[in-house]
Every structure is written in C-alpha cells, then in structure tokens.
Amino acid sequence: MTGTSSDLTRVDVAGLSRLLSSGEVSAVEVTRAHLDRIAADDGRLGAYLHVEDDAALAAAAAVDQARATGAELGPLAGVPVALKDLVVTEGVPTTSGSKILEGWLPPYSATVATRLAEAGTVLLGKTNMDEFAMGSSTENSAYQVTRNPWDTDRIPGGSSGGSSAAVAGHLAPWSIGTDTGGSIRQPAAVTGIVGHKPTYGSVSRYGLIAFSSSLDQAGPMARTVLDAAVMHEVIGGHDPRDSTSIDTPLARLADAAREGAAGDLRGVRVGVVRELGGEGHTDGYEPGVLARTREAIEVLAGLGAEVTEVSCPSFDLALPAYYLIAPSEASSNLARYEGVRFGLRAGDDGSRDLDEVMALTREQGFGPEVKRRIILGTYALSSGYYDAYYGQAQKVRTLITRDFGAAFADVDVLVSPTMPTVAFPIGARVDDPIAMYAADLCTLPASLAGLPAISVPSGLSDGLPVGLQVMAPALADERCYRIAAALEAAQDAARGHRLLDELGAPAGAA
Amino acid sequence: MTSTADRLVEFDEVLTRYEPVIGLETHVELGTASKMFCGCATTFGAEPNTHTCPVCLGMPGSLPVANAAAIEATIKIGLALGCRIANWSRFARKNYFYPDIPKGFQTSQYDEPLCVAGHLDVEVDGTTHRVEIERVHLEEDTGKNLHVGGATGRIHGADHSLIDFNRAGIPLVEIVTRPVPGAGRLAPEVARAYVTELREIVQALGVSDVRMEQGSLRCDVNISLNPVGDLEWGTRTETKNVNSLRSVERAVRFEMRRQAAVLDSGGRIVQETRHFHEDTGTTSSGRSKEEATDYRYFPEPDLVPLAPDADWIEKLRAELPELPAARRTRLQQEWGISGTEMTWLANAGALGLVEQTVAAGASPGDARKWWLGDLARRANEAGTELGELAVTPAQVAELVRLVNEGTINDGLARQVLDGVLAGQGDPAQVVQAQGLAVMGESDELVAAVEAAIAGAPDVIAKVKAGKVQALGALVGAVMKTTRGKADAPTVKRMLEERVLGS
C-alpha cells in the first residue's frame, strides 16, 4: 500500500473532486485506496455488509477512460460513495440488514442511487444497519456488529451505523444514510461527522426499503458540512416516481454552507429548545453533552446570532407518538416479506400449507426488534384500538408541528443536542428497549413534523464526539447547512484542525 | 358445505313469509392504458407475468403513483350516478396476507372515498325502483391464482399454485349500493336490472369495456330475509363473483330460497361469504365473516390525498355523454314506439345498432325489423351478441334502401345478408356479384310465366272456373324457376293478364 493511496482516504469530497478534476489522481487510485482501507480495517469496524471490489474498480476505470477521451465530466466523477443497505441497487445485494432479504438481487435502482451514479460517483459497497432501520445502535443488524471508530467497544449509532462508521473511519468519503426518527443525525453525532435529514419529501424515497413511509428520508452523511450539502444537491429534488416528493427547486445548499463558513451570523435568530436538555429537562442528558451544546451555542452567539430560549411543550410527547406511528406503518410495509416473490422462503417442503410457510418465513427471517415493532403496530392499527393509538399519535404529530410553527414565528432555526449521551457501550441497552428508544429523544420532533435537521460535531466529551442538532422550517434546509458550517468553521479554526483529525489512522493502516 | 345438501323453499312460497333486502357491490376494471399505480399495460390475455414491474410486484422500496385517468374515470362514474364528489379523499391500505396481493395490503379507499350518496333508478315490469348508491371508490385489482392439479381448479386438492400478476394493480372501481328493501318478488330482477343499467352507464362513459365474461365487471350480491312486517333486517350473506347478468338474478333467487329454508327450520343465517356456481345456479359457503380478518385500514402514507377542485369536477360533469336512461327516453319519442318495445330493444342490446342504422338512413321501423328479426335470430343461432355479427348498421341501412327501392325484395334481402355476413362485401356488391336484383318484365320472366301456364292446364281450368286464388301456386312456380328474383306482385299481375285476360 502506498502512502499516497492511504492518504486519499483522509481527503474530503471537496478535495477529492479537485484532485480528480485536475488529473492529479485517477478514479482508480481513489477507489483502490478506499478498497484497500476497507480490506485492512473493516474487519475491526464491521461497517460494510457488501463491498463492490472489482465492480467499483471497473466503474472507476470507466470514469478515467471517459476523462482520457476528453468527455465532459461532473465534479464528482470518480468520487467513491457508500450506500446504506436499504438503498435498492440493481444487481447489488440489498438486505436492509435482514436475513429475510439475504441473497436478493434487486431488478432496479433507487432514485438516490441512480442520481449518484449519474453524477459519476463510484459505489464502494453497502453499509450495515439495524434490521429494516429499526434501532439506534446497529446492534439489531441480522449480520454483524458495527463498531465506533472512536472506541470500538462502543456503538456507532443507528440505524445508519454502518454509514457513520465507514465515513468516520475513513472507509468512505461520504455515505447515504436514512433517517426515520434520527437514524442519520444520531449516528453522525456519536461518530463525529455531519448528517442531515432533509425536509420530508425533498429527497425521493423511490427505492428506499420502507420502514415508516410518512417519516423516512434519505440524506447525506459526510465529514464536512460542505460535502453533505453537495451530496444533498445531487440526490435532492423532485422525483415523479415518489408521490410525496415535493415539486420545488432545491435551494442552493452548497452556497449556504460556504456562506456559513464565512462566519457571519448577524441577524440570524437561534432558538434553544428548553424541552431538549434545557432547564428542568436535563434528566438522561450527560453533563458533557450539555456542556458541549452550551459552548456551541456560545460560538454561534459569538458569530453574531441572536440566541433565545423557546418552549415546545408537545415535544415531550414525541417519543410515545413515534413508537405508535412508525411501528404501525412498519407492520404494513413489512407485510410483503412472506416468501412468495423474493427473499427467504422457509419450510416449503411440501408438508406445510401456504399460511404455515408464510408464518415460518417471517418467524425465521425477522429479528426480535422487527417482530416487536410489527406486533406493536399491528395492535395499534387494530379495529377498536385505532383511534386510541394511531389516531391519538397523529394528533400529537399535529401538536408538535404547531409547536414548531409557533417557534419559527420568532426564530430562524432551533438547536438542541443531537443525542442526550455520547456513544454507549455495545450491549449496554440491548435488553432495555425503552433505554434504546431514548437515544432518539432529541431527533424525533423534527422527524414527526417532517422538518430538516442536521447534526454537526460540537466537540468531545470524555474523548467521544457530541453533536449539535440544528432544525429549520420545511424546505429551509439551507439554514441548517449555513449554521452548521459556521459552527464547524469556527471550531476547526479555534482547534487548529478538524475534530476527526483527532481520530488517528488505525495502527498499520497508514 | 355443498350446495346440493341445501333444502330450498319454492320461490313464491318464500314471499308469503319473508321480505328480501338486497345489496350489490360491483367492481369495474377501468380501461385505462396503464395500471393504477405504475406504468404497466393493462391489456387482457397477455402471457402471465409479462405486464409487471417493481411497483406492481411489490418489490422492496417501490412506490405507487396514482393514475390520473383512473381518478377522472371514477369521478365520471360518480357523477353519472348522481354522487357527491368529495373535495378531499384518500387512499387507504387494506392489510391482509394472500399471495395474490403483492404488498401484503391492497391499496383501496376506506372512510374517505371519492364519490358518495348517489342513486340509480331501474325499471322492472313497468315499475321504477330507486337503488341508492352509498359510495364509489377506487382501488387496485389483485393478481390471479391458478391452482394446478386437482379436479376443481380450487386450491383444495391442487398440487401447486401459480400466480399471474398481470392483473395486479389494474384500476378497479367499486360501486356499493345501500341496502335495497321493498323489491319483494322482483328482487332478483331488480338486482339484474341494476347491474344491467350500471353496465350501460359505464359503457356510455367509455371508461371500461365492462365484459363480465372477462371479469372486467364483477358482482358481489348481498341478500338477507326478514319475516314479513319485521322492521329489523335479517343477517345477510355475501355471494362473491357472480359473473353474468343471468347469474345475478339466479344468485338472488337461490339465496332467497335457501335462507327461507334455514329460517323455516328454526336455524339462523350465518354472516358469511358464499361462492356462486354457474353450472348449478347454487351457492356454497366460503369463509365466515364472523371470524373475519381485521383489515387494519389506515391512510396510505405513500400517496398524497386527492383534492379534486370544483372547476375540474364541473368540467367533467359538462363532458358527460348522454346517459342511457335519457337516451332511451329521447329515442322512444323520436321513434314513436312503446316503452315495452323500447325494453325489448334494450334487452336485445340493439339500441345503439338501431340508432346507428337510422342515422345511416333507414327508417326506425325498418331498422328495428331487421335487428330484432332476422339478425337477432342469426345471433341467437350463432350464440353471439348482436353487435358481434359481421354486419354494420350502415350495411343494414343499405339493405333497407335496396328493398325500398325495389331493387330486391325481402326474400332476396335475406340472401344478400347471407353474402354480407359471409364477408362478400356491402349489400350492393353482393346483389351485383350474385345477380340477386329483382327481375323486371323481361323476356326471361315472360318465358317463365308462360311456361308455368303451359305446364299446369289443371290449375288454369280451376282458375277459369272461378277459383282465382289457385293462381298462387303458379306464382310460387315462377318464383322458384327465377330463384326468388322475380317480384311476386308483378308475376301475379302477369299471370292474371294472361289467364283471365283482364
């Protein structure tokens, strides 16, 4: 392994784009550097479920060849990317972290995957995740445990934990994650990277294996705010294949990130949400997390932002509402996995009838957390219980949306910690679903209201990353990027280096 | 389980003790070019599983997009049935496991249908029956299971099953009536007349080919009986897949007779799904609704709500074609015929054909005569519908014109029709090609007349003795030698001139 190729894994996307466009490095070199790094280090991290290897090198070679013939290539041509394993990719194994889809080769590709491919990016592989995105630690994967590059005894967050570990561990320059209740933001926070959940409807869901249709969104996970904004611009925008896709032009997100990095936040009104770690609402929040959050807010104020505290009382109801709505939709979305058309089919030996084969397939194919949520959702939608559970939860959703509406009448963005704690040890919460669910406490309100929210590193607590969450009104994603980039630039400058630089390359990899 | 075991009460006797309440759920497959939620083709009879894609196969990650043409067609049906069109409507998921529904749920509508509160008036035996429409909603069809092996084609006893998803996702409109009490003895006919009229309306709207034999119109028939005079209705059964107009009538009749026997013997009717058997005209028990699946309906989060705006609805209303009932009234007046004659025409499926024949120049009387007479007989013999005969209204009008001009007579016209039906061209071409025109007073005809006189001295004697009607035999002889091409009145006159010298 050459020094150059291992260095390439530490270059951000903006840097790779420059190197590739100028011809200083080839796409094959960049891809090979990442594949080598994966080969060397993914045994330790467990970020990938599938690596494209030869296919990735072939795609990279095609980019180099096109460039050699003088073809007009986009700025991202040859930049590698990793996809969360629920992004459907034609001919590439896609399991959503579940045994029930083991061996399935999709006949089509998600819009997100197609747009990234059309931009010339090179698919490195598919990243691990909690089964069907149900979890906050990636421990619910049916395949493997993924480890946090900052401390391999700790979780990388979830459900996009393979993506966060890959990006933080320099096994991919960036990755697509998906966020239903926090599954982009929370893993980004605990691994010290940037993760943005776009406004619901602003990134196509076509080809994302559904968990909870009214909440799921795909978004970028990257090492810098600018890279995240660039990826968002590639994948975002209207898609006629998704009825819930919003038909408005995307804001200039990368420009917003650049503007934020310039450091002037005068006139920006920042609201600190009292119910998310504020006065009287600190139960379950680690002091280190609260301290980093306070400091980050001070940085924003120092850049000219007007900071006030706002109250959103309905946020306290977000957790129970979420755990009715998401399982209800999931119980229906996951009904298609019964062994008739694709994936696992168990017990079809001629001795069992159809119902038995379908039941056995689901019994063997789904893990315990998936079963728990299917049972919960089935119950919540049952005749006689619908109004009390699903119906009430939808009302809570309306209340939360109103709280946001009232808050955004006075402020431009809302901030909070992304997660109440730093990454917890692997195994610490697996037997306590409620404690596990609490990891999403801060991210759920924006999910339920369909609003954009970003997690950006705010520092370390006991050597582990903490994230600040910035939430904005619907379709004002650019505000998230601007504020996050301002914080990032100010802290990097104060620190003299990026936070991730404190995460050294693993022994033997450099 | 088997229907043969059912005891039945005579139909007339049922009515001495019970009153029937009927209800109908009709599914119409729309004739849109593409499926309800994807771009796949909808054509009937393709190779299995060739009209499929990730969306209609329910592949992981796929998403539905609603077909605007199907929504428009549903609104048109609703408007034609006098429904109120909702300004806010949503799709809902109906969750249940069955291999022919690829997603594990059917995308349908639940408590927010597109059209509500309409009605349809049907005439039976000169009385009008109002059938209230509860709702008209849009959903997707299921795939089709094919059970291989075993005698019955049913899952019981089959070796294995195959699924064809070509039909999965084809837009389906469900039209649900409110319960119809008070039809009494006429309940079977009212049910049939309702489906007939509904089919005509959908046909007039041009939104479906409504072919019951291909399943593009399917009926579920609900029936209950209550003792005469009881205010409370009885428990109903739902007979599924009644797939011809005749079967609708038979299913109602059978269920009334079966239920009466159960009630007579002190039994109770189980709320259940029943299957109709075309061959025997009977029903048999399916699954019981008392242990029915909970469908766990909830609003489909993958589709945005439908909010048809008032201007669009009014535009669609203005574009509605003349509906069958209005058209019948107009044509009856224009043609000056009785209601009964009109019913005959409608029942024979001849209304449009007669109308087009009249438009092509025939008189209403002539047009009716041919379509209800000769052509109806031929269709009947061939076992096809009138409209499927290989003759166009324009050709019938031409035939009528040739008769009225005297070019041919009725007898020749039938021969000409044979030629047209055999694909030999238009009537005039057949007349020309086969030399079927009526003969004038030609040398050939004079020779035939004189030969007939010369060949029957006994008849001539009778005529001269005063039995003038005996000449009829000679007319027949001349017609025979001219192979029907002579004009009978002309022949008669020529014979009289020669025999009686008048």
Concerning whether A197 is annotated as a catalytic residue, the answer is no
Instruction: Count helices and strands (H / E) in chain B.
Output: 17, 15
Residue of A nearest to B101 (CA): A336
Statement to judge: residues B473 and B409 lie in one domain: no
| Mean pLDDT rounded to a whole number for chain A | 95
Residue type, B41: A
Q: Which of A209, A336, A386 sits opposite B103 (nearest CB)?
A: A336
Secondary structure (DSSP) of A153-216? TB---SSSHHHHHHHHTTSSSEEEEEESSSTTHHHHHHHT-EEEEPPTTSB--TTBPPS-TTT-
Between residues A433 and A133, the one the model is more confident about: A133
- Cβ contact, residue pair A243, B304, below 8 Å: yes
Closest CA to A173 of A217, A124, A138: A124
* B230: in domain: yes
Statement to judge: residues B54 and B169 lie in one domain: yes
DSSP-based helix, strand, coil % in chain B, nearest 5: 40, 20, 35
Beta strands in A52-148 (DSSP E): 80-84, 122-127
pLDDT at res. A274: 96
Distance, in Å, from the CA atom of B372 to the CA atom of B342, rounded to the nearest integer, reads 11
Residue B438 has pLDDT above 80, yes or no: no
Residue ending a domain, choose from B434, B464, B491:
B434
Task: Give the pairing of strands B272-277 and B282-288.
Answer: antiparallel
- What are B206-233's pLDDT values in tens digits? 999 888 878 889 999 999 999 988 888 9
* B330: in domain: no
Q: Which domain holds residue B494?
A: 443-499
* B480: in domain: yes
Distance of alpha carbon A253 from its chain centroid, rounded? 18
- Chain B residues in contact with A241 (beta carbon < 8 A): 63, 65
- What are B365-387's pLDDT values in tens digits? 889 988 888 888 888 888 777 88
Task: Note the ipTM here.
Answer: 0.93
pLDDT exceeding 70 applies to what percent of chain B? 95
Does residue A310 contact residue A410 with C-beta atoms inside 8 Å?
yes
pLDDT bin (cut points 50, 70, 90) of residue B154 is low
The enclosing domain of B449 has a CATH number of: 1.10.10
pLDDT bin (cut points 50, 70, 90) of residue B490 is confident
Does residue A104 contact residue A86 with C-beta atoms inside 8 Å?
no
* Cα atoms in the Cβ-side hemisphere of radius 13 Å centred on A367: 21
Residue B292 has pLDDT above 80, yes or no: no
* B328: in domain: no
Dihedral-angle region of residue B218 (phi above 0 means left; psi in -120 to 50 means alpha; beta otherwise): beta
Distance, in Å, from the CA atom of B239 to the CA atom of B252, rounded to the nearest integer, reads 9
pLDDT at res. A507: 47
Statement to judge: residues B385 and B455 lie in one domain: no
Statement to judge: residues B32 and B131 lie in one domain: yes
pLDDT at res. A3: 43
Statement to judge: residues B172 and B249 lie in one domain: yes
Statement to judge: residues B383 and B490 lie in one domain: no
φ and ψ at B279, to 5 degrees?
-65, -40
- Cβ contact, residue pair B58, A382, below 8 Å: no
- Cβ contact, residue pair A106, B61, below 8 Å: yes
Closest CA to A89 of A70, A68, A104: A104
Between residues A300 and B347, the one the model is more confident about: A300
DSSP-based helix, strand, coil % in chain A, nearest 5: 45, 15, 40
* B320: in domain: no
* B383: in domain: yes
Does residue B397 contact residue B367 with C-beta atoms inside 8 Å?
yes
Determine the distance in angstroms separating the CA of A95 from the nearest CA of chain B, rounded to an integer.
10
- Chain B residues in contact with A337 (beta carbon < 8 A): 60, 104
pLDDT at res. B54: 96
- What are A80-103's pLDDT values in tens digits? 999 999 999 999 999 999 999 999
Mean pLDDT along residues A131-143: 97
- Cβ contact, residue pair B95, A332, below 8 Å: yes
pLDDT bin (cut points 50, 70, 90) of residue A401 is very high
Statement to judge: residues B142 and B222 lie in one domain: yes
Which residue in this structure is represented by tokens 């399916």?
A: B286
Dihedral-angle region of residue B440 (phi above 0 means left; psi in -120 to 50 means alpha; beta otherwise): beta
Beta strands in B158-254 (DSSP E): 160-164, 171-177, 180-181, 217-227, 237-242
Residue B249 has pLDDT above 60, yes or no: yes
Structural element, H or E, at residue A397: helix A392-408
Between residues A504 and B445, the one the model is more confident about: B445
Identify the top-confidence range among A1-5, A292-296, B148-152. A292-296
Identify the top-confidence range among B87-91, B414-418, B444-448. B87-91
- Chain A residues in contact with B60 (beta carbon < 8 A): 88, 94, 96, 101, 104, 106, 209-210, 336-337, 342
How many domains is chain B partitioned into structurally? Answer: 3
Distance, in Å, from the CA atom of B356 to the CA atom of A374, rounded to the nearest integer, reads 60
Q: Which of A336, A342, A354 sits opposite B104 (nearest CB)?
A: A336
Instruction: Pull the structure tokens for residue A140.
Output: 């619910």
- Chain B residues in contact with A110 (beta carbon < 8 A): 61
Distance, in Å, from the CA atom of B355 to the CA atom of B387, rounded to the nearest integer, reads 13
pLDDT at res. B175: 97
Mean pLDDT along residues B118-147: 91
Instruction: Pull the structure tokens for residue B88.
Output: 């806010």
Contacts of B38 (CB under 8 A, 6+ apart): B53, B55, B56, B64, B65, B169
> Three-state DSSP class for A218?
strand
Statement to judge: residues B377 and B455 lie in one domain: no
- Cβ contact, residue pair B304, A242, below 8 Å: no
Among residues A6, A109, A141, A183, the one annotated as catalytic is A183
Does residue B445 contact residue B439 with C-beta atoms inside 8 Å?
yes
pLDDT bin (cut points 50, 70, 90) of residue B7 is confident
A385 and chain B in contact, CB less than 8 A: no
pLDDT at res. B325: 87
Residue ending a domain, choose from B434, B457, B483:
B434
- Chain A residues in contact with B301 (beta carbon < 8 A): 212-214, 244, 329
Between residues A279 and B388, the one the model is more confident about: A279
Mean pLDDT along residues A260-289: 95
CA A204-A208-A210 angle, to 5 degrees, is 115
- Cβ contact, residue pair A104, B60, below 8 Å: yes
pLDDT at res. B214: 80
Closest CA to B142 of B27, B32, B24: B27
- Cβ contact, residue pair B60, A338, below 8 Å: no
pLDDT at res. A508: 43
| Mean pLDDT rounded to a whole number for chain B | 87
Residue A455: is the preceding peptide bond cis (ω within 30°)?
no
pLDDT bin (cut points 50, 70, 90) of residue B1 is very low
List C-alpha distances in Å: B56 to B41, B102, B219. Answer: 11, 7, 24
pLDDT at res. B198: 94
Q: Model's pTM, two decimal places?
A: 0.87
- Cβ contact, residue pair B296, A354, below 8 Å: no
- Cβ contact, residue pair B95, A381, below 8 Å: yes
pLDDT at res. B426: 87
CA diameter of chain A: 73
Concerning whether A183 is annotated as a catalytic residue, the answer is yes
Between residues A450 and B445, the one the model is more confident about: A450
Residue A6 has pLDDT above 50, yes or no: no
Statement to judge: residues B281 and B194 lie in one domain: yes
Residue A155 has pLDDT above 90, yes or no: yes
DSSP B436: -
Q: Which of B65, B102, B105 sits opposite A332 (nearest CB)?
A: B105
Q: Which of A214, A341, A378 sits opposite B102 (nearest CB)?
A: A341
Residue A167 has pLDDT above 50, yes or no: yes
Residue A419 has pLDDT above 80, yes or no: yes
Task: Give the pairing of strands A122-127 and A80-84.
Answer: parallel
Between residues A230 and B10, the one the model is more confident about: A230
Statement to judge: residues B455 and B403 lie in one domain: no
For an interface test with B, the pick among A336, A356, A397 (most B C-beta atoms closer than 10 Å) comes out as A336
- Chain B residues in contact with A389 (beta carbon < 8 A): none
Q: Picking from A57-71, B261-275, B341-355, which range would have the lowest pLDDT averaged per residue?
A: B341-355
Statement to judge: residues B389 and B462 lie in one domain: no
Residue B243 has pLDDT above 50, yes or no: yes
Statement to judge: residues B413 and B465 lie in one domain: no
**Complete domains list, chain A, with CATH:** 3-314+405-502 (3.90.1300.10)
Distance, in Å, from the CA atom of B369 to the CA atom of B337, rounded to the nearest integer, reads 13
> Three-state DSSP class for A76?
coil
Give me the sign of the Cα torsion angle B432, B437, B443, B448.
Answer: positive
Between residues B383 and B130, the one the model is more confident about: B130
Between residues B339 and B29, the one the model is more confident about: B29
Residue ending a domain, choose from B281, B313, B345:
B313
A366 and chain B in contact, CB less than 8 A: no
Beta strands in B141-294 (DSSP E): 144-148, 160-164, 171-177, 180-181, 217-227, 237-242, 272-277, 282-288
* B318: in domain: no
* B220: in domain: yes
Residue B286 has pLDDT above 70, yes or no: yes
